[in-house]
Structure 1
């Protein structure tokens, strides 16, 4: 009965997490297209310059304590209140830090507008901090349905206000309005949906226990955010604002699919793996199936986006974004390894080994430094090619320790992916030949989107891939 209940809960969690991510990503995709057609690449570049400062502040605010609370098997009300008080105090500190640092940020990038942009966008730290505990409680309960509702409300509200602002000529401020109002709406809805009201209680003992686990995740999170956003700083400093705008849009397009799957995996698999952390056989079974299912989905999706990059960009964003095409074609391949790496790293967190998580993350630092030294002087395209190489090597590193602990390392994982790669290559050949005989971009996109999945599903059926049956069964349910 327990196994059936866990399976049912896991399926519901993954399904609602998927509904959440796909609905939000699709909505943001549509809003992003509308905004990109109205605004200029430079507007997106200006916001991209501030991304790392907001991301680093947000990482400090969360500090891995919410994850630590999810990982713990025994929780008390004072633990949640301690986390709430901590989040508010740290968000206040970092907002003040951003407020007074705004002139220095503006001077570094030589963009006067960044002073006001930084001070206003920084308010998002407060808005997010108010709802961290509510989101944590819903995650512990694997209530991704409520989380999905709040995220969709935030996406729709923020997107609507951002588009209205852009139409009325607010330029880069349209993006700030979209982010702030979206965050506010999402946070307010989480308060209503979680049915949890905070107290001002703060326990030093609770904080120490949570921070003992979360401190490693904090360091790893800071490291990851720096790596993910350091290119924004370099491009904003040494290249044009438009170049950074193209780069951020390329990442955004790639993350519509890969980022959606990564978000689903991060949100749903961690509490599921945590719940079976003491049952080794069940843990390995779930872990290996997640790896195979992720590869089954992400490899063909990313490949198809690369093949259809030209009609996607020209038709959706217009010719002014044509420089985005080669960047998008490369960056999607760097995203293939992200979901797989997330699962491998989530396993370490689920068994309470945040220390190993940190060690694995830091071990990849030399790769990133070498890639930056080589590629930054060569331009945006070279930087993204460097991403592809380092992402592949990082996957191997990420899979090494889980493989050593549970016997399912990078070699076995890659071996399991071979059938998916074969089916994807055959699909890519057929779609490429089709696009060579069709000049019309609309028809290229139309037939590519239809033909690609049909060919991949047919080949998966011929190869008798069990993941196809699982997807089909999940779809029917």
Structure 2
């Protein structure tokens, strides 16, 4: 490798590390803030039924959001050259689509309420759906920040919107607005984030409307649109599918369990997603470098995901008792299963991002759609046997789906089965041993807080020791990066 190539490699490492650092820090802070606000509200102000009510509508708002976004963000990010004309076309197209969708859903609201046999959903849905209309104003601006790797600015947007919306939700919950407070929180979040995306982006829409660039962008983004719809369905399938067959309280328990699993997943996937596509696209023509970067990101994701989510599964019962009190304890059994499946889902996310950088949005779409259909069939066919069996099967499906992605990915890059085992399943093994040993060590402790703390601490210590023995490379890279950052600060 000559000096020029070494400089490029070093520059890319710095960009990736910076993106991971800011993305990770931002997501950690967001999760902590969301955790604290959500904890207080769930413990003291709202009931499982309140969460169950709002979760019935979440899927409709998310699908509408997917239509208004239409895959334009990824379409713009993966386009080789982007001009003001492209951003302007996306802005007006997104706004037009979302306006039509809101009008349609406004009139469909009574039918949604009739389907779930809950009359209160009519007014609630009409208000909640305002959120995706407000979000349409920031699609092009968000794409601008993402394409230019403005991770810090995107982090500020998300963090600010989260703080303001959580405060609003807390105030309205305190004054007895029940599930309405959750809807208000969602609308406020979208309004604040849209405003701030506009502020940080250098793009400004003009009245010179030309939709001609949409045709070129849509060749890629149309598949992303269909995929995003299924991703939202997959992530919110329990409430949307089972809400017809189970009580609001039961849906509230499974929604709360999904929330904790999703928080753990998003802490990792959002951090990775902030950098993976822009970075891999920069080295699109150098396959060897792309493989090296991909494998490092895969190792990093596996290193963090399995210990974090397996660890949460190990302490699920104590965690729910400490955070939400015994009134939510039924959700703990769902948390255990969902977190195990969620850890494997984070790996699937890395594979899917690589496929997108290869321009294979059709493969990405069919893969996500196939997973969604299987997940739907599992829930419908197994609903009479209880929620636990359905969730176990879906978690197993997440594990098996890694091999589906592996077969696809190896068609595009040099990535063998032994590399998959080394980059992913070694961490499954090490995290599993660490968490099992910690759970065994702490199970005889009778004091709740002591048992919980011991299990968490022991899991981390055992995991680091096992990695030091069997997988020292990832630890060395993380330590070197941390040392480098500290030296620069000094």
TM > 0.5: yes
Deviations 1:161-219 (A, max 9, x none): 11111111111111112111122112212222223321133333311000111111112
Unaligned runs of 5+ in 1: none
Q: Which moved more, 1:23-32 or 1:226-235?
A: 226-235
Match of residue 443, structure 1, among 433, 447, 450: 450
In structure 2, the partner of 1:219 is 226
Q: CA deviation at 1:419?
A: 3.2
Does residue 228 of structure 1 match 2:235?
Answer: yes
In structure 1, the partner of 2:308 is 301
CA distance in 1, matches of 2:107, 2:227: 27
CA distance in 2, matches of 1:46, 1:322: 19
Q: Which moved more, 1:258-267 or 1:342-351?
A: 258-267
Answer whether contact 2:309 2:339 (CA < 8 A) is retained. yes
Does residue 132 of structure 1 match 2:139?
Answer: yes
Does residue 16 of structure 1 match 2:22?
Answer: yes
Change over 3 Å in CA distance of 1:218–1:26 after alignment to 2: same
Q: Which moved more, 1:367-376 or 1:333-342?
A: 367-376
CA distance in 2, matches of 1:417, 1:5: 26
Does residue 333 of structure 1 match 2:340?
Answer: yes
In structure 2, the partner of 1:318 is 325
Superposed, 1:80-99 pairs within 5 Å as: 80-99=87-106
Q: CA deviation at 1:57?
A: 0.4
Superposed, 1:397-408 pairs within 5 Å as: 397-408=404-415
Change over 3 Å in CA distance of 1:88–1:365 after alignment to 2: closer
Change over 3 Å in CA distance of 1:464–1:395 after alignment to 2: closer
Answer whether contact 1:348 1:402 (CA < 8 A) is retained. yes
Deviations 1:123-177 (A, max 9, x none): 1012211111111111111011000001110010011111111111111111112
Change over 3 Å in CA distance of 1:430–1:364 after alignment to 2: closer
Unaligned runs of 5+ in 2: 1-6, 486-490
Superposed, 1:350-365 pairs within 5 Å as: 350-364=357-371
SS at match of 1:406: coil
Deviations 1:60-109 (A, max 9, x none): 11111221110011111100000000110011011111111110011111
In structure 1, the partner of 2:3 is none
Q: How many residues align?
A: 477
In structure 2, the partner of 1:47 is 54
**TM-score where L is the length of structure 2:** 0.94
CA distance in 2, matches of 1:403, 1:276: 18
Superposed, 1:404-415 pairs within 5 Å as: 404-409=411-416, 412-415=419-422
CA distance in 2, matches of 1:6, 1:22: 24
Answer whether contact 1:396 1:410 (CA < 8 A) is retained. no
Q: CA deviation at 1:369?
A: 4.5
**TM-score where L is the length of structure 1:** 0.96
CA RMSD of aligned residues (A): 1.6
Does residue 473 of structure 1 match 2:480?
Answer: yes
CA distance in 2, matches of 1:436, 1:354: 47
Superposed, 1:160-309 pairs within 5 Å as: 160-309=167-316
Does residue 457 of structure 1 match 2:460?
Answer: no
SS at match of 1:333: helix
Answer whether contact 1:402 1:409 (CA < 8 A) is retained. no
CA distance in 2, matches of 1:191, 1:365: 34
In structure 2, the partner of 1:30 is 36
Answer whether contact 1:265 1:339 (CA < 8 A) is retained. no
Q: Which moved more, 1:225-234 or 1:384-393?
A: 225-234
In structure 1, the partner of 2:86 is 79
